[in-house]
Structure 1
Amino acid sequence: MSDHLLPRRDLMRGAVLLGVGIAAGGAELLRGSPAHAAVPSPRIYGTSEWGARPPRSAVTINYYRPDKIIVHHTATGNSTDYSLAHAFALSRSIQNWHMDHNGWIDSGQQFTISRGGYVTEGRHRSLETLRGGTTFVQGVHAGPANSSSIGIENEGTYTSVGPTSALYNSLVDQCAYLCQQYGIAASRIFGHRDFMSTQCPGDVLYSRLPQLRSDVAAKLGDGSYTTTVDNATAGRFTASGNWGVSTYSSLRYGADYRYANPQPVSDAAWFKVSIPSSGSYRVDVWYPSNAGYNSSTPFVVSASNGAQYVRVDQRSGGGAWRSIGTFSLSAGDYNAVGVSRWTSTSGYVIADAVRVTRV
């Protein structure tokens, strides 16, 4: 049976994989090319290294370049075995399921990343064609997008939790290398659900795709790095129970925003930002303005030379991005921008969204 005619997301449904149960289920940032500043190839373990079965028939080679990357999760358990041996066993299990249950000729995806951060080749010859940079192996992972995309399976289920740091960092490296080799814009990294009716790659991992695109653009050496964190961005915003949630103002960014009474206490709401490299970054803030809100809301920026405070009059100027300055930020993934309650003026302090741009 032709593997091009079957749906993909039956992955391990009703089965047990590696001894764990199955979980229920614009403008381009960068146009990369092999001539761009070199991004080193990640260590990718080929099919012969992890003991793959031979494909049932010859894989299809497309003699043109893919124009997008599609991110998946395996919808399997979030294993705490981060070893290379586990990554190899994962690859064999996926291939067995795809061939024996789905009836495909080989693994559906081109590449797989384990929770330990190991990258393996999925469908045969995917690594060979990637290194050449002019052709690619057609996979079976995203329905109508199969003929124009590279699919990456990420081990785990990310409906309510995020991937390990090792997996995410390898995903950034792998996507950057793919973008470089095939001339794919970092803005053209998508989730499986963008093309088919599915929960894949899970709400949490899907919510991190904007960050992934920015991190990949930064890895490729593009100077236009920018990232936005909303108060509803999963895993990127923290606030105590003293901060309420409101949809009152139509000037908000996204679905809602946070508010709190001013008090002389250390109870800031924090936006966590991934800074790709140390340097100068402009920080913009978005808030809904109202005559009853605070006239001196303290924003705090975790700059490399210490915490920097900027006071903003939130009674006016809302409903748009507003710069609070340019700061020297260190590389890393940390609480970079906060909204403090420590002010003597009256009226709610508001935490809605921040945007950080390299300058």
Structure 2
Amino acid sequence: MDLSRRQVLGLGAVALGALRLPTTANAKAASQPRLFELPLGTVNAHGWQLTDPLKAPDRFDLVGLRWAKGSHLHAQVRAREAGGRWTRWTALPHPHVPLDGTDPAFTGTADELQFRFKGQARRLTARFVRSLDDAPRKPRARASQQGPLVIPRDSWGAAQAPPRGAPSYGVVQAAFVHHTAGSIEYAPEDSPGIVLGIARYHIESNGWNDIGYNFLVDRYGNVFEGRAGGIEAAVVGAQAEGFNRDTTGIACLGTFTAVPLDDPAIEALAKLIGWKLSIHGVPVQGQVTLTSGGGSTNRYPSGTPVVFERISGHRDSNQTTCPGDQLYAQLPHLRTRAARYAFSASGLTVKAAGQKGLKPVTVSGQLRFADGSSAASAPLSIEYTTAGSAWTPISTTNAGPDGSWAVSVTLPASGQVRAVFAGDAARGRLESTPITVKVVPSLVLTTDKRRARHNTAFAVSGVLTPSQPRVECVLEKQVRGRWTRIQRKRINVRGGRFATKVKPKTPGLYRVSIVADGVVRRRTLRALR
């Protein structure tokens, strides 16, 4: 069924009962949902189709779209406060990773909106975010390691949109420039709320681990820390599918298709990129060859070597018009300007994946010296800390001729890892920015039998490595196709081993689960008559 003008008008009433999505924000946000939606039905339009004005379920600041898998839709939006003046039409951009929907566009605070659609979509839904009222209006910026002033996460309200898990780390070989979407008619005090709104949408609607960008820059030259993990670190974002592990992504707040980015923002971008590439030992100008990781939004198949400018636009790597025609045309000037802020820096980097059980994990990185001296054979100490403990050496290694190094370590539990060059007669001490390494426990679960008469005890036992003080045992029964909890108890773990018993009281299909920090294992049991 096509979405007709009459059907759209009817949606205003339906919207008052719109689904309120769960949120991970703080208690204030929990009492007033900050993410909510409006079902729009089906669209099948060969040309641009205009909806009638829609009343949103609640006041909002950003809006995006979601649709059923297999849909192909282009969309534009404008918004207004009730009875007020419409914003300009803004294209809703497709996200940086595969997703059945769009990224959000900033509209400013609004109650009503209108769409233009072209293409087809099923189960089309508008998703709204409120954020301007929740973010600090005057956040404070801080400088770091010769770097530009950056507004840290705790200053723009990131605690209201916490990451789902620990960050991942890669390398920084180049920078991708993006624009977000939406009105550029915002005041500097609105910028923290826009960043918070994007974070909420990326985490709560898209289901991502954190906000996709590493940094965000507003029209006025304010720089915001994006994805958590450290401003200096090579944090892997969700901003350029297939190249996230090799690049840093910086988004400019607004749409810059028809208008150029303001000069204060260009200057802030230049300082930020010049600093960021320099501390990772990467030249600001010139080209670099990166290997594509593939993906449905990537322009290049997996494994393809691709030559990029060190400062590139998102459209150079992925199928998008981002960062807008006008901003993309400013990139040559940005490269020249960023080169003024490049510098030679001593540096030590570290990266690692998560550790599974007690299997060794590879920790690696790069050592370089600002005076250009060779890092070959320079001794390095790998140190570890957890739960506020002191840094403890866990391994040593030496840098190779090009400064690269790698070593395998086994961590006893999740914690932070850093590399340290103690210094020598000619060169001072260097410490890498610590990174978090999550240890995912290995859990083996066994039962002495799978079927027995009801009221018979089933012995449940297993092995957990690395060990934890205790695990939780949950017994559930399948009732009308759903699992219903019957019993829950905590079990002590001794020497990595645990054991208990469960006794189904009535016939039926049961499930026993062992829950440890970071891992769950389950087995089904049948209680007979």
Work out which of the two has the higher radius of gyration on C-alpha atoms and give 1 or 2: 2
Higher strand share: 2
Provide TM-score, normalisation by structure 2: 0.34
Higher helix share: 1
